[in-house]
Each structure stands twice: as structure tokens, then as C-alpha cells.
Amino acid sequence: MACSKKKNANDLKEMLNDAIAREIQVSIQYMWQHVQSFGLKGEVVKDAFKKIAITEMKHAEAIAERLVMLGGIPTTKPTTITVGNNVDEMLKLDKKAEDEAIAMYKEIISVAQCAGDYTTAKLFIDILADEEEHAATFESFLTK
């Protein structure tokens, strides 16, 4: 793997904080979608929203713990939360959020590996697997 020297340890800490902000965002977003899902399709997806929201909060916690180990201070501010006006809009927003997280986490894995921080890389490899599953879940509901 060819490593770029563009990113350093401070950049990695900033990237982890960006990841925390996104995880906080989607955990709130998905939980509010869980409580605001109505109709037949809402009944079908609301439990998935709740389950994934809880998983995302666990991701935020794990990333924050790692950031503290690296000497950083975790953010408490989420990125912009967008709940949506109906279940289909919610699912589209969530699929997009997961796709963005997947791209971000692949970059974090690459930067961490290049920095020799294999613990952070492994953490994000594990989280990436969850995010890919979440994206597939939201996609499956969109095609129903």
C-alpha cells in the first residue's frame, strides 16, 4: 500500500472527531425516525431504525474511547440531523448517510494503516462492516 504523507496523527484525531459527530447525528436521526414512522411501511421499518440507532451510538462511544487514548477530546456536537418528512425520504437520507460514512471510514482506515495505527484501523474495519450492513438494510426497504 502506498502511503501519502499528507495526513498525520493530528489529522487522524480530527477525522475521528468527524466520525463521532456523524455517529451522534445518525443515532439521533434514526431514533427520531423510529418514533416518527407511521403507516404500514413505517411499522415495517421502525424497529430497524431503532436497532441501527443504538448501534450507531455504540460506534460513537468506541470511537470516542479510541480518540481519548490517542490524546484527543471527543466532540459533543453532531453533524446536521435531517429526519425527513415520510418513510421513503427517511430511508433515502439514511442510505446516503451510510454511503458517506462508508467512504469516510475507508479513508480513516487507510490513514490509520499508513500511520501504523493498526488498532484504529481495526476499529474502523469492524465499524465499516456494520455501516455496510446498515446501507444494505436501508436499500432493501427502499426497493420494497
Dist. CA 106–CA 93, nearest whole Å: 20
Domain of residue 123 covers: 9-142
Who contacts 44 (Cβ-Cβ below 8 Å, separation ≥6)? 141, 144
Q: How many CB atoms lie within 10 A of CB 35?
A: 11
Provide the grid cell at 78. Answer: 453532531
Question: Quick one: pLDDT band at residue 38, thresholds 50, 70, 90?
Answer: very high
Q: How many CB atoms lie within 10 A of CB 118?
A: 11
pLDDT of residue 81: 97
pLDDT of residue 87: 96
Say if 3 falls within a structural domain.
no
Dist. CA 33–CA 74, nearest whole Å: 25
Average pLDDT over residues 126-135: 98
Say if 50 falls within a structural domain.
yes
Q: How many CB atoms lie within 10 A of CB 53?
A: 19
Instruction: Check which CATH number belongs to the domain holding 20 and give it.
Output: 1.20.1260.10
Domain count, the chain: 1
Say if 4 falls within a structural domain.
no
Say if 21 falls within a structural domain.
yes
Dist. CA 49–CA 88, nearest whole Å: 13
pLDDT tens column, 57-99: 999 999 999 999 999 999 999 999 999 999 999 999 999 999 9
SS3 at position 81: coil
Say if 13 falls within a structural domain.
yes
Say if 51 falls within a structural domain.
yes
Q: Structure pTM?
A: 0.93
Say if 123 falls within a structural domain.
yes
Say if 2 falls within a structural domain.
no
pLDDT of residue 95: 98
